[in-house]
Amino acid sequence: MLLPLVLAATLLVCGVLSPRLPARWRRPGFEVLLLMPLLLLVTLLTLWLPTLWWPQMGEQLAHYEQCNLLVAALAMGFALVPLIFTLAEDALFSVPVALGQGSLALGATQAETLWRVVLPLAVPAMLTGLSLAVARAAGETAPLILVGVGKMVPELPVDAVFPYLHLDRKFMHLGFQIYDLAFQSPNIDADRPLVYATALLLVAIILSLNLLAMVLRHRLRERYRLMTH
């Protein structure tokens, strides 16, 4: 429970202290190289230090499944941070500078200019980048094999028992199921229809997410189209 709060606080502190960094460390994209090791260190300390202060927590963590949905989510999140950061940065810099300058000249603060002028125009491109990141994450199989994906799991991470989403459980992945059925099955001919059906389902999910992003992007562009004129 502490991990999301500590990571959010770390990001907030880094955002406040980043303007005080030396000029050579404030180049575009260099923040990611500094932030990722720091987040990894904070994650390790958050998981390790409480076990020293509260031995009971250490006893509970002894039965904790190391390969689970939370570890997989963190691994994929760190893997996709550079892609999302680059696309979001390109989206923000694609907004005409004159719009921001005009907003500041009319008396708006920098925060108001960011939230009401720059971000609305950059959101469509950000959605495109997010859809690309989700599509890439859906197709990633090899990293997930090391961090929690299973062929058959006794309990799914989602059920009707509180808290409903259990991040400490293993999970199943369509990409891994395709690999397992296609290359590890003792009867490939019998499993071939299931392989095709699983691949079709994975492609349908990715296409649906991309179509949803396209619809949202189109609506947002129509909504803020007059701001560029």
Per-residue pLDDT of 127-145, as tens digits, reads 878 877 887 777 777 777 7
- Beta-bridge mates of residue 149: 171
Residues with Cβ within 8 Å of 3's Cβ and at least 6 positions away in sequence, in order, are 43, 46, 47
Q: Is the pLDDT of residue 228 over 60?
A: no
Say yes or no to pLDDT of 206 above 60: yes
Residue 154 has pLDDT above 70, yes or no: yes
H helices of 140-186, in order, are 142-147, 174-183
- According to the model, what pLDDT value does residue 14 have? 64
> Six-digit token pair at 62?
């002894």
Q: Is the pLDDT higher at 145 or at 110?
A: 110
Cβ-based neighbours of 156, under 8 Å, separated by 6 or more: 169, 171, 172
Burial class (CB in 10 A: 0-12, 13-18, 19+), 78: middle
Percentage, residues of the chain above pLDDT 90: 1
Q: Let me know: does 126 contact 86? Beta carbons within 8 Å.
A: no
The pLDDT of residue 130 is: 81
What are the domain boundaries of the chain? 2-57, 69-162+171-226
Instruction: Answer yes or no: CATH 2.40.10.10 is held by domain 69-162+171-226.
Output: no
* Helix 69-93 × helix 30-53 angle, to 10°: 150
pLDDT grade for 30, boundaries at 50, 70 and 90: low
**What is the predicted pLDDT for the residue at 51?**
61
Who contacts 170 (Cβ-Cβ below 8 Å, separation ≥6)?
Answer: 65, 67, 68, 69, 148, 149, 150, 153, 157
Q: How many other C-beta atoms are found inside a 10 Å radius of the C-beta of residue 162?
A: 7
- Residue 5: predicted pLDDT: 61
Total Cβ atoms within 10 A of residue 210: 15
Mean pLDDT to the nearest integer, 51-76: 64
The DSSP result for 20-72, as a single string, is: GS-GGG-STTHHHHHHHHHHHHHHHHHHHHHHHH-HHHHHHHTT--SSSHHHH
Q: Residue 124: pLDDT above 70?
A: yes
pTM greater than the 0.75 cutoff: no
**Do 194 and 201 meet the contact criterion of CB atoms below 8 Å apart?**
no
Query: What contacts 138, CB < 8 A, 6 or more positions away?
Result: 174, 175, 202, 205, 206, 209
Q: Which residues of 126-158 are buried (b: 16+ CB within 10 A; e: fewer)?
A: bbbbbbbbbeebbebbeebbebbbbeeeeeebe
